[in-house]
Structure 1
Amino acid sequence: MIKEDKKAERVFQIEIVETLSNLVEVSAENEQDALLKAQAMYRNEEVILYPDDFIDTKFNIFR
């Protein structure tokens, strides 16, 4: 009988994170108001990020 050294395979969870980025100009009285306006614009789909806005991909492993 021939004995084979076989390592047992395990299941891993890999998170794939893509980062998209776009600069938006917003007129406001202060930074907080500008941030709130930009967030509202994004939620209302006035600002849409496209594949051309891609800047990075990261892979994270969870054990």
Structure 2
Amino acid sequence: MTKKGDLNTYQIEIVETMSALVEVVAEDSETALLKAREMYRGEDIVLYPDDFIDTKFNTFGIK
């Protein structure tokens, strides 16, 4: 936190959580997870505003 006169400056982290269930065909759960990650990173799985679950705000002081 830094001071400017009588005021303090803070960093506020905003974290949005989104969630979607997708079906992946694989031999085991580890392979399914790897496939899902690849699909997500390759933008084959896209989360939309309707997939929104929660927003959290975290406060950090500036040194």
Counterpart position of 2:10: 12
Q: Which has the larger radius of gyration?
A: 1
**Structure 1: gaps (5+ residues):** 1-6
| Larger fraction in strand | 2
TM-score, normalising length from structure 1? 0.85
Q: Give how far 1:18 is off.
A: 0.5
Question: 1:14-59 CA distances to partner (integer Å, 9 max, x unpaired)?
Answer: 0000011000000111111000000011011110000110000000
The CA RMSD measured in Å over matched residues stands at: 1.1
**Structure 2: gaps (5+ residues):** none
Give the aligned length. 57
